[in-house]
Structures are given as C-alpha cells and as structure tokens.
Structure 1
Amino acid sequence: MYEIRTLTIHYGKSLSDDMEDAKDEIETFLSRFSEEVDNYKSQFGISPTYLRIAFPNPPFLDDLESFVKLLEDLTERYSINLGQLDSNYNSLSEAILLIASNKMFASILMKGNDWDEAIKISKALHELTSNSPELGANIGVNTLNEKHFITPYYPLASAIPGKIMISAALTYPNYLKDSYTKNGYDGMISSIINAGKIAEDMAMHVANALNIEYAGVDLSVSPWMEESSLGLVEQVSGVRLPKPGFAYGLKRVNDALLISSKSLKTTGFNEVMLPIAEDSKLKARASEGEFNARDLVKLSGVCLAGLDLAVVPHNIVDVAGLLLDESAYAKMKSKALGVRIIPVEGVEPGDKVDLGRFGETPVISI
C-alpha cells in the first residue's frame, strides 16, 4: 500500500522583526496546521508520516544562531527547512553547519557558471561533513539556481515570499511495482493517479481550513528502505542498474508520472528519485561496486536520479566537477535537480559510513 509521505507548509509570509514574536507566529500557525491534520485523520483515518514547514530564505540571517536555537524545540514534531542560501554568501560554511547541527535543513543556490563557485560549495560541503557525515543529509544543492522552488521534498523545499502554501508527497514504490506487475503500464498510471488524489484531497482539506493556497502534490517516486525506487525501475526496465536499458526504464516511469500529472495539480520534481542512503536495494548495489557517482550524474538526463545521499571519498575538485555536471543537466532540462553529496575523508569505495537515521551507507567511487 502507499503512504502520504508528508504535508509541507511553504511559509512565505513576512515575519515580525522581533524574533520572539516571529517564533510565536510560527508556533501558532503550526498548532493550527497540526489540528487540521488531526481533524482529517479523525474523519478519514489517514495521516501523513511527516509534517514540515519551509521558508524562502533563512529568517534573521544576521543572527541565525539565535533564531535556530529559538526554534529548536519545534524540531521534535516538525521538520524545518530554512530555505535557500546564495552560494556567494560570505558565511556559507558556518551557516550550513549551524543549520544541519540543529536538525534543520537548507539548500544552496548554485548558478553553475564557473569552477570558482563550484569549488566554494564543495569546500563548504567538505567542511560540513568533516564535523559529522550525517550532517550532509540536511544540506542540498539546487543546481538550477531556481529561487523559491515549491516541493515538499527536503532539503530543496522553499516558499514564495508573501504566500503561504501547502504541498503533499507520497511513499509508494512497492505499490506502483505491484500495480505494474499485475496490471501493466496502464495499471501503474491508474495507481499513481489514485494515490495522488488521496494526497491531494488531504492537502486541499487542510488548505481550505487554514485559508491558504494548495500548491499541488509532488508525484515523485521516492524510496524509504524496503520501499525501493530502484526495485520499481528495475521491474519496468527489465534490467539491473547500471546495465544498458536501465535509463529506458527510468524514462518509462517518468512518462507515467507525466501522464498522471494531467489528472492532478502537481508541484515540484515529479520524477523518480534514487537517494542511495534511503533505498535498501541501492545500498546493496553500491556495496557491490556496480556504479559510481558519474553513472548517477548521467542518469539525471532522464530523471531526478542525480547524486542524492551519495557518500564519496574526500576530493574537493572532483566533487565540484560533479556539481557542475549536475548543473549542466539541470540547465539542459530546464528543471531543478537537487544534489546531496557527502564527501568523507579517509574512506574508500566499498567502505560504510554511518549516516544516523539512514543507517550505514556504502561509499561509492567518483
């Protein structure tokens, strides 16, 4: 069966200039949000796995440490994405370390026009993971430099200044795999639409109750351990990653998502996701050394595979190059591609690194 993965509030309303008042405002809104989610559950018996809130840019950036500490208690119930940081921000390394260390999320906007920018971002990521590799899971790179990107998926989620919106996402790889196996390609499309409509109904119910805008559902196929995106794509393609024909399978699933999106209001990526640390089958393939980081970058040409939760050996220049390659694909597709690269010093391909809630994740070669 499928689950509603998350309902995400995109909070673009201007906050009070007073930090304490701003926190009270956020807390009050989130309380109302939770109440309406509970109301929906009491009526229909369905609730999301996660509740999230995303901002356009980190509020109170000139005193970010105080603001992050102020919101610390909210992270026990809500996932908080502080939005987008320009790559040219002078204190980029310090900011992302502060955010990730306090269990919050953010993304870096990358223009992708030169090596200097890519090297700066790569150094910031290396510094972040040198404190703890698991912190790398909380910081993404938006390789299209798309400001105020509306997706329920972290860490690229943002908000549009002046607006409050809500979006939804699903966890349903095995549901779609079973549908494809039993009822073929058309059956998989029907299942995407059916699950999407349930997520849409929940989000619209909450949007109406809170008098905010419904942004849409992100139909992306995103895994969680045994709920494997890789398993679905290998079933559709008929081959294992990275054999010839796998990219064809990715395109087929993405085409099904595109067809399904015509029956729903959608937002965000709406493509297959292959985050290594979140997918048990991907972890197994990585352990076997069957693909490298460049293989995953190339898959970005047909889906939102990219480098997501990929642990690689420490190498500032090569990681910068991977970011530039991802940016090139994003520009060719005119679609945001999110990247989470976790460079770790002193490891070799095949080693395993503890990523906290994601467990041990194999290192892949660049």
Structure 2
Amino acid sequence: MVFKLCCLIVRSVTLFTNRVFSRKDVENEIVFAEDIYKVINELARENNLNIFSWRISFPGVEPRLTQYIPDYLFRERLVSIGYLNRININEIVSLVESGFYIPILSSAERSIDKYIFYSKIIHTLSKLNPIYATKVSIGFHDSSFQTPYFPDSSSRGVREIGLSFIYPQCLSTSSLDTLKSSFQEIFALINSFANQVEEATGVKVVVDYSLSPWMNNSVAEVLEKIGFKLVEPGALHGISVLNELILSNMDRGRAVGFNEVMLPYAEDDLLKQYGGEGLLHATDFLLYASVCVAGIDMIVVPEDEYKLAKLIADAEALARVKNRALSLRAIPVPNNIGERIPLGKFGRVPVIPH
C-alpha cells in the first residue's frame, strides 16, 4: 500500500523558549530561534516537507520586555507571549495590536463574573478587528500544559522544539485497516523527521500529533469518508475512532499538548459549509468536545457578551468533568446568523448561532 505522504505538511515549527528576564534574554532567544529555523528548513527540504508556519512561544513575557521584540518578527513568525501573571484588558488589546498571540489561563474561580470578564475581552478585541479575536484563547488546564497550537501556547521555560502537522488528506479511508496503516506510516514519517531535527539542533523535540484541518484539508471530510457525518448521529463515535488511532500510534515519549481530533470551525471548509447551511450551532462544538479536543475553537457567533460568557462557563464545566485540557476561541460579530464575514487568511466564514 502506497500512501500520499507527499501531502503531509508541517503545520508549525515552534521554539519554546527559556525564561526571559531581560532585554538580552529576549534577544538571545530570537537569535537562537532564527539559527535553528535555518537548520530545520534545510531538513524539511531534504524530506520534501513544506512548513506552513514558524513560531516562538515564550513562557510569559513581562509586557515591559515586549518592546525588545522587533517589529519585523511579526511579519515572518507567529509569537505567543505565554501565560501572563495578570490580565488587563487594555494591555491585552495593546499586545494583540502589536502582533502577539495571547493565551489566557482560566483562573480557579468559578463565577459568572469571571466568564463575563473573559467574554468582554473577546468582544473588545473583535469590535476593533475580528482578526484580533483569533489571536486570543481561554485555556482550561494548568500552567504546565504546552502545545505548539496557537493561541493556547506557552513555553514551560525550557528550550524545546514543538512540531505539529496537517495530514487529513494523507489518510486512506477505504477501510478501517487501511486507515490504521496510514496512521502508522504518517506517524513513522513524523517521528523520523522529529529525530532528525533533534539530532541536528541538539534541542529536545516534542510533537502534538493532533489531527487538525486547514481549509480543504478537512477533518470533517475524513469523518464523512469513514461513515460518520458530524451533523448526524454517530459523530462522537467517529471522532473516538480517530482519537484511538492517534493515541495508539503516537510516540508517547514525544507527545505534548492535545493529541486528539481538532475541529476549529473557521479552519475547515466542510465545517464552514455546514455552518452556511444552518446545520451547526456553537453548542454543537461542546458536544464534540465531550469526546475530543474539538473544543470550541474559531466559532463565529453574533455579538452577545452574556451568551458567550455562558458558553465559556459550559466549556470550563466540560473540561473539569473530562479532566482533559480544553481551549476556547470565539469571534463575536455584529452580523446576522448565516452572513459570511471576511476573516483574513481564514476566508469568508458564516456566522452560526450560539
């Protein structure tokens, strides 16, 4: 059996940085990142792999130090500031306007006021520019959690290289046996590349093996092909089948982050088609998240601070019961349900009801 491994894409190469306390620390991490990126880019070329994005994830940079991160970096790299010690709306707005991704770590407090505060942050950003809301997430997990998936990315404070991949179109879906075999072959290639990167850079390499989409490289389509349409009964079973294949084939010694099926609404063409046909609600993603980290990601909903606050509360409740990391990213807009809004690289995205 020959699989279409030429379609495997490196979704992201992320440097998780050391802790930074000074201008020199910040500059050292940026120089180090650029040096290893050159090495990794050459390895990718030798392996016929395309790299979709280059990222730097800090372990919570004090806002006063962000001035030492040069503007040019944001044109070429995605940069996460990491988990902040305090949350100030004006400060977050300023950082996002500068180009940073901001992961907000949900506090232990369980009150509607907290959820309204988070909703207000998201609404404030989206009113300025809906793209800004795509750069902030609410994470329901502890501070030791680390993933190359932005925005919910923060370094643990020790240099590591994180890899993630796009591979829905590499999966053979003609039978369960061929699906299993294609996961094995894809992950073997991923692990081989990770080993090469680690050997060439001398830096520990970790991988988030999640099955994630990018537009026509659709996870929802994979589910349809194996007989489980997301908007029909059986969807949760289909998701769990894919999750089991990820977990049983990944290298647990390298695994970091989510390592599950991902269903970010605005990043999957078939999900957007469902949304445009009126087949999806934001709360459907809570249902999917009950069996995977589909989470509530990249949903585009009508503006309503209180409704979004309650959705955030539901997401945290689910994360607690599930006892797994979960994240939420929402884009509230002043548009009607069914209208398509322009969202930059994500294209035109239909608004769905809460």
| 1:136 paired residue number | 133
Q: What's the offset of the Cα at 1:65? A: 5.8
What letter is aligned with 2:107?
A: K
| 1:164 paired residue number | 159
Identical-pair percentage: 29
| 2:38 paired residue number | 35
What letter is aligned with 2:77?
A: Y
Q: Deviations over 1:80-110 (max 9, x none)?
A: 1111235xx351x223322322332121111
Q: Does 1:232 pair with 2:222?
A: yes
Aligned residue pairs total 347
Q: What's the offset of the Cα at 1:292? A: 0.5
Q: Tell me, yes or no, if the aligned pair for 1:40 and 1:47 is still in contact at 8 Å.
A: no
Q: Tell me, yes or no, if the aligned pair for 1:7 and 1:203 is still in contact at 8 Å.
A: no
Q: Structure 2 length normalisation: TM-score?
A: 0.92
Q: Tell me, yes or no, if the aligned pair for 2:19 and 2:58 is still in contact at 8 Å.
A: no
Q: Tell me, yes or no, if the aligned pair for 1:32 and 1:210 is still in contact at 8 Å.
A: no
1:171-186 aligned at under 5 Å gives the runs 171-176=166-171, 179-181=172-174, 184-186=175-177
- The 1:263–1:318 alpha-carbon spacing in structure 2 relative to 1, beyond 3 Å, is closer
Q: What's the offset of the Cα at 1:118? A: 0.8
What letter is aligned with 2:294?
A: A
1:107-126 aligned at under 5 Å gives the runs 107-111=103-107, 113-126=110-123
- The 1:126–1:74 alpha-carbon spacing in structure 2 relative to 1, beyond 3 Å, is same
**Equivalent residue for 1:349, pick from 329, 337, 354:** 337
| 2:3 paired residue number | none
Q: Tell me, yes or no, if the aligned pair for 1:7 and 1:52 is still in contact at 8 Å.
A: yes
- The 1:233–1:173 alpha-carbon spacing in structure 2 relative to 1, beyond 3 Å, is same
2-structure distance, mates of 1:111, 1:252:
33
Q: Deviations over 1:93-133 (max 9, x none)?
A: 22332232233212111136221211111111110101011
| 1:328 paired residue number | 317
1:277-292 aligned at under 5 Å gives the runs 277-292=266-281
Q: Secondary structure at the match of 2:16?
A: strand
Q: What's the offset of the Cα at 1:332? A: 1.6
What letter is aligned with 2:274?
A: R
Q: What's the offset of the Cα at 1:296? A: 1.1
Q: Tell me, yes or no, if the aligned pair for 1:350 and 1:362 is still in contact at 8 Å.
A: yes
2-structure distance, mates of 1:43, 1:351:
44
Unaligned runs of 5+ in 2: 1-6
Q: What's the offset of the Cα at 1:27? A: 2.7
Q: Secondary structure at the match of 2:210?
A: coil
What letter is aligned with 2:352?
A: I
Q: What's the offset of the Cα at 1:33? A: 1.1
Q: Structure 1 length normalisation: TM-score?
A: 0.89
CA RMSD of aligned residues (A): 1.9
Q: Deviations over 1:264-320 (max 9, x none)?
A: 631111111111111111111001111201111121101111211101111111111
Q: What's the offset of the Cα at 1:16? A: 4.8
2-structure distance, mates of 1:100, 1:198:
36
Q: What's the offset of the Cα at 1:3? A: 1.4
Q: What's the offset of the Cα at 1:339? A: 1.0
| 2:76 paired residue number | 77
2-structure distance, mates of 1:231, 1:90:
38
Q: Tell me, yes or no, if the aligned pair for 2:80 and 2:154 is still in contact at 8 Å.
A: yes
1:195-234 aligned at under 5 Å gives the runs 195-215=186-206, 217-234=207-224
2-structure distance, mates of 1:142, 1:107:
7
What letter is aligned with 2:220?
A: L
What letter is aligned with 1:168?
A: L
Q: Tell me, yes or no, if the aligned pair for 1:220 and 1:272 is still in contact at 8 Å.
A: yes
Q: Tell me, yes or no, if the aligned pair for 1:167 and 1:203 is still in contact at 8 Å.
A: no
| 2:4 paired residue number | none
**Equivalent residue for 1:268, pick from 247, 257, 276:** 257
Q: What's the offset of the Cα at 1:64? A: 5.7
Q: What's the offset of the Cα at 1:190? A: 2.5
